[in-house]
Amino acid sequence: MEEVDKILIHSLRQAGTLVPPEIQSVRDFPPELVVEAAVRCVRVVRPALGAPLSTLLPPGMSARFRLASDLASACQELGFGGDVGYQTFLYSSEHDTRRLLLFLVEKLPRDEAGGGAEPPGKSGPLLRAIGARIRDQLVTPWVPPCCRTPHLQRLQGTGHLRPFSTCPLVLPHTGGPPELQEYFRGAAPPVPAQPPRPAGAPPALLETHAAQLSARRDWEAEWGGTGLASRLPPQEYVGRKQLRARLRALESLRQACPPRPHSPPEGPLDPAWLQGAFGAGGGAGGALPKGSRFTRTQHLTHEQDPQILLQQVQAAAETLPPSKSSEEGAGARQAGEAAALEATLAQLEAAIEGRRGEARDAQLGLAQVEAEVRQGRLALGGRRDALRLKARALELLPDAHGNMAKLQLVVEASSRRIVSLAGQWERHRGPLLAEYRHLRALRDSAQLESSRRLSEIRALHERSRSAAAEARRKEELCKQLVLELEALPRDVSRAVYTRRILEIVGNIRKQKEEIGKILVDTRALQKEINALAGKLERTFSVTDELLFKDAKRDEVVRKAYKYLAALHENCAQLIRTIEDTGTIQREIRDLEEQIEGETSAKPPASLDRILSDCRALREENAALAARIRHA
């Protein structure tokens, strides 16, 4: 079992268990190490199942029993078929511990996909140790600094927490006026130097980042709702929103300012004034020249800048006198102005949509006219050709007979020339056609050969790529194995382990052969026993039948029949006794093996530990009861 224990300890160390170097056998495992090894294996096999379990045994006995019971339940969920409970971890024997750890080690992932890709080299163990340390810190509950044990102080530190205090930060960004960019490049302090204390930089960055994320989410929510419903581009939507906010601010300022002495009270905003402020009016305040309504709408839609509109509205709002009405009058006036704004905006949008529809209709009509013009040009070209032919025919009409004779001569000459050309073509066509068919056959065969070679080349490329990938993987694996081999201690020879493994395999093979021979002998013996039992039954049946026939007439035969029945019964009882004796011997051997196992488990030491734990548990119960009584 020494080789098995060494392999098991090596696997546990790879899973992250810190097994001390002086422990070389499962017999030397303390309960704390058994619990740690089992928890780490469960975490690797199924992280969700092992995350709530702690790798450290708590000091209290009730907490220990609870942790051991939860760990036993986790092992049963993984499929462990043996008897497992809290005693398996707190008062376990060598046999039970080895069996449980072997089951958990066999459940560990063996490939990179199950265990996670590990970088080659000496950084693999370091990363495993870092991951194990982080998992320990995540699983360990937080404890106040004044209540931390030395182990928790190493995990969670000894410093006290500081309050979360932030300050506004000025973050540089691209875009904007040149003065702002010059300020960011030269005069603006760096972000870590802006907080009053060096420790305030992370909280300030966190708060600024959270504010940016919140503003972005608010903008996405607003644009996904009212922004898309307005059917406007984002820049225009933002400009209109800023314009509305500026108008509301100006209205608030106008209401808050004291009234001027020679100004009459103002009512709601006039739609005509709004058109003039936006440059749509035709008077002196309008920004557009005189023209048709379509021209003014197009100019307002395509040429007017939102900044100019905003400036005009600001200028118009600044020229308005302040109001002297009360808060109720201001609210009514503001509602009237909003209604007037909405009505004017609706009129402008309706006019714009109407002009857009007219523009679309005009474009469709223009396309139709252009198509008709193209068709007319084609028809005109055909008529010109027909007119040219008719003009030529009219020129030839005065001398029709002479022209007909000339045309007949031209036709006959053309026919003779066509016949001669056809004969020449036939003389040339035969060899060219044969050559064409030969070349086409060559081309088809060449295409077949090229396609076959192309498929072979593709297959070779695929094989070369797969071979290159396999070679790279094996090279990385070779480098990793070489580094692991260099990291292994030099005093252990690989040949020794190989020889031991081969010896173990040879012994197992011999044991299998001996077991096979024993099974063959057992089957042969069982067949012989069955044959003899059948022969005995048949012989007894024949003898019983013969003696039973003569027992009615002869007294001696009657006594022989009685002796035969008694002999058969005694023999059956003797066979049953022999079978019971074999069963009892097997049970004796099993009991002796159990006695040896219990003896090797050192029951006195386990019993002493159980008694000490029982006393500690009683003391805890008594302390809790006393605390409850005092409370």
Domain boundaries defined on the chain: 2-156, 229-257+266-349, 404-492, 495-605
> Is residue 330 within 8 Å of residue 269, measured between CB atoms?
no
Answer yes or no: is pLDDT of 104 > 80.
yes
Per-residue pLDDT at 588: 92
Residue 118 CB-half CA count within 13 A: 25
As a whole number of angstroms, the distance between CA 349 and CA 343 comes to 10
- Each residue of 45-56: pLDDT tens digit? 888 888 888 888
Per-residue pLDDT at 493: 60
Lowest mean pLDDT among 168-177, 267-276, 393-402, 595-604: 267-276
Residues 6+ apart with CB under 8 A from 194: 167, 169, 170, 201, 204
> Is residue 78 within 8 Å of residue 96, measured between CB atoms?
no
More confident residue, 322 or 142: 142
> Is residue 280 within 8 Å of residue 288, measured between CB atoms?
yes
Q: What is the mean pLDDT of residues 550-557?
A: 78
- Each residue of 440-479: pLDDT tens digit? 999 999 889 988 888 888 888 888 888 988 999 898 888 8
One-letter-per-residue 3-state SS of 515-553? HHHHHHHHHHHHHHHHHHHHHHHHHHHHHHHHHHHHCCC
More confident residue, 444 or 543: 444
Burial of 159 (0-12, 13-18, 19+ CB in 10 A): exposed
Answer yes or no: is pLDDT of 397 > 80.
no
Task: Return mean pLDDT, the chain.
Answer: 77
Q: What percent of the chain has pLDDT over 70?
A: 80
Tell me the pLDDT band of 330, cut-offs 50, 70 and 90. low
More confident residue, 151 or 75: 75
Q: What is the mean pLDDT of residues 244-257?
A: 74
Tell me the pLDDT band of 262, cut-offs 50, 70 and 90. very low
> Is residue 269 within 8 Å of residue 341, measured between CB atoms?
yes
Q: Which of 251, 221, 256, 219 is nearest to 238 (CA)?
A: 219
As a whole number of angstroms, the distance between CA 193 and CA 173 comes to 17
- Each residue of 120-145: pLDDT tens digit? 445 667 777 787 778 777 777 777 77
- Each residue of 110-125: pLDDT tens digit? 644 334 444 444 566 7
Answer yes or no: is pLDDT of 278 > 50.
no
Tokens of 552: 């009615």
Instruction: Provide the angle, in degrees to the nearest 10, between the axes of the packed helices 61-78 and 94-107.
Output: 50
Q: What is the mean pLDDT of residues 381-397?
A: 84
Tokens of 29: 């495992």
Per-residue pLDDT at 558: 80
Per-residue pLDDT at 275: 45
What are the start-end ranges of the E strands in 360-507? none
Answer yes or no: is pLDDT of 279 > 70.
no
Per-residue pLDDT at 584: 93
Answer yes or no: is pLDDT of 616 > 60.
yes
Per-residue pLDDT at 439: 93
Q: What is the mean pLDDT of residues 63-69?
A: 85
- Each residue of 372-381: pLDDT tens digit? 998 898 889 8
Q: What is the mean pLDDT of residues 27-39?
A: 87
Tell me the pLDDT band of 556, cut-offs 50, 70 and 90. confident
Q: What is the mean pLDDT of residues 36-53?
A: 86
Distances (CA, A) of 580 to 524, 569, 586: 21, 16, 10
Lowest mean pLDDT among 394-398, 512-516, 537-541: 394-398
Confirm whether pTM is higher than 0.75.
no
Distances (CA, A) of 192 to 171, 198, 212, 532, 555: 11, 7, 18, 100, 126
Answer yes or no: is pLDDT of 83 > 60.
yes
As a whole number of angstroms, the distance between CA 297 and CA 347 comes to 11
Lowest mean pLDDT among 59-63, 258-262, 556-560, 606-610: 258-262
Q: What is the mean pLDDT of residues 11-27?
A: 83
Per-residue pLDDT at 595: 80
Answer yes or no: is pLDDT of 70 > 60.
yes
Per-position b or e across 430-469, b if 16+ CB within 10 A of its CB: eeeeeeeeeeeeeeeeeeeeeeeeeeeeeeeeeeeeeeee
